[in-house]
A and B are shown apart, each in its own frame.
Chain A
């Protein structure tokens, strides 16, 4: 800390976080859209070789052909093709695992937050138990037992991420449960399930929505970590983590092999985080001035 101690501490005024993250939000949205379109149409893009096809010389620099746009890897396969096919795994996994976490977490969280009592105890207990094991360790243990399949890894990742949603939902439901609109719905004769689904759930969209992109980025990183360690979706299916692990072995001679997947992963995680941050700032009502 070398700043001069001459100026006084200024009183921080609440900034407008929504405006601050807007550029990141749009950059993220554009990148993710391009990536998703690329992943969907990877098989039909003209000039793009298959992910396992030997396309050119090993470790060649990027050129202007479609297949060579990001260079080739250490056995001459197209990096772009492998990245787009790897994106299928990453994105499908991100969506499915997040959906699992959301479905289980919100159900348990709503029951616990609305009825309180022993249901809340069970919900908290489930969240604590899931949080108490380091996520990567839990994933590895599950994969060791049931083997590395897309289905197994998706379910395992979904479970690992559930505790966040349980906690978030309990808190949000409790703070909503005594609001006037809930009282009104009850006075009109609505039962518990109706109030929860029709009245409270729509008011949770802001809180949960901001968490969804964050969860997706965590899931993508977790799948990458598993693949990096050699426990991901088995070869020959290309995955970003696997590409990075392979590229790390040849980083001195062929740095291009690792650069493409690293840049892709970085941009993707950054984009999801920027989305989450922007949505979080927009729905965070603490800083709103009346």
Chain B
């Protein structure tokens, strides 16, 4: 236990420079804006007073480092500044949006696993069989469909043709759980279809090498049923690549579910990021980037710990 605590502590320590460099880099982006950031944000028609006010409020009239250190101080007090228009504290907005995105990402990832794992197990047990060959083509096709095409296709099939789900919109789970599920279903299914191809590929490759191991041969000669060998013997030692990909997916979906959220009108972090970029609310962009980096770091600490669970020979250092 102490060992794990030390390992986690060390990883967090190593991650701090990464977090600092990335957020500093995003802070420095505003210096690339043509003219003063205030002018770039408000546009040509803004009054000079308003431009000066924006520049002063976000510190754009001072050097990057000074502005960055001040921002960092605010972050430690839980203060991310306020939104560009409306003066709402950014932390309030982020908190609400994060909940929505986490629900969507969780549903999407679980859905993808439910599709990918059984197919990977069947395909691995019969290499070159019908499932193996069909899934090989299907996953190749899915991987070649970009998310922004997938959302259009899914909406065409499930909304326009079948009329099974509402086209866009959102109701928070706390308000009306049933309506919430109706709204989350289609975006989550879209994410699941997108991700399941990668999960399938990765798990299949690891399963194939696991099934070549001697202990599987032993299990077979003992006469254990195929299903039992696949699920109880072979699956766990084959999870390490899948867990890595899962970690990457969680990190990516936080900001990368943007297109799905944008298209289906889900008020999550990704949709907020797109909105923030469109009105050039750089403080909001900065806060979302910080959140994503922190989550990425935390997820990969969990991934490292998962390796040790998957294969006890791996020691956490």
Contacts and interface: CB of A to CB of B under 8 A. Distances in A.
B280 interface: yes
B121 A1 contact: yes
A270 B141 contact: yes
A5 B143 CA distance: 31
Interface in B281-297: 282, 285, 288-289, 292-293, 296-297
A137 B141 CA distance: 25
A156 B278 CA distance: 17
Nearest to B19: A132
B149 A9 contact: no
Nearest to B117: A1
A244 interface: yes
B180 interface: no
Q: Which of A3, A146, A224, A262 has the most CB of B within 10 A?
A: A3
Interface string B193-214: 0000000000000001001100
B296 A132 contact: yes
A273 B220 CA distance: 37
B156 A251 contact: yes
A80 interface: no
A224 B146 contact: yes
A44 interface: no
Interface in A158-207: none
A289 B259 CA distance: 44
Given A8-B220, A11-B212, A141 B277 contact: yes
Contact of A229 (B18, B30, B226, B262): B262
Given A141-B285, A143-B277, A270-B144, A136 B258 contact: yes
Interface stretch (B1-9, B123-131, B170-178): B123-131
Interface in A215-260: 217, 221, 224-225, 228-231, 241, 244-245, 247-248, 251-252, 258
Contacts of A54: none
A4 B217 CA distance: 19
A125 B25 CA distance: 14
A10 interface: yes
Contacts of A245: 148
Interface residues of B, number: 69
Interface in B80-128: 118, 121-122, 124-128
Interface in A1-60: 1, 3, 5-13, 15, 24
Nearest to A3: B122
A1 B122 contact: yes
B144 A146 contact: no
Contacts of A1: 118, 121-122, 227
B37 to A, nearest CB: 9
Nearest to B225: A5
Contacts of B280: 144
B76 interface: no
A241 B220 CA distance: 51
Interface string B162-194: 000000000000000000000000000000000
B315 interface: no
Contact of A5 (B19, B228, B282, B288): B228
B145 A266 contact: yes
A274 interface: yes
B46 interface: no
Interface stretch (B47-55, B247-255, B303-311): B247-255
Contacts of A133: 22, 255, 289, 292-293, 296
A266 B153 CA distance: 12
Classify chain A's interface size.
Answer: 35 or more
A134 B252 contact: yes
Given A137-B258, A146-B33, A266-B145, A244 B226 contact: no
Nearest to A271: B144
A215 B227 CA distance: 38
Nearest to B23: A133
B135 interface: no
A173 to B, nearest CB: 22
Contact of A262 (B21, B122, B149): B149
A132 B22 contact: yes
Given A133-B255, A137-B256, A229-B259, A11 B216 contact: yes
Contacts of A134: 251-252, 254-256, 258, 292
A265 interface: yes
Contacts of B156: 251
B146 A5 contact: no
B26 interface: yes
Contacts of A12: 124, 127, 208, 211-212
Interface of B: 17-19, 21-22, 25-26, 29-30, 32-34, 118, 121-122, 124-128, 140-141, 143-149, 152-153, 156, 160, 208, 211-212, 216-217, 219-220, 225-230, 234, 251-252, 254-256, 258-259, 262, 270, 273-274, 277-278, 280, 282, 285, 288-289, 292-293, 296-297
- The 7 lowest CB-CB distance pairs between A and B, nearest first, are A134-B255, A137-B255, A270-B144, A145-B29, A5-B225, A228-B148, A5-B227
10 contacts: A7-B226, A12-B127, A125-B17, A125-B18, A136-B259, A143-B277, A229-B258, A241-B148, A262-B153, A266-B141
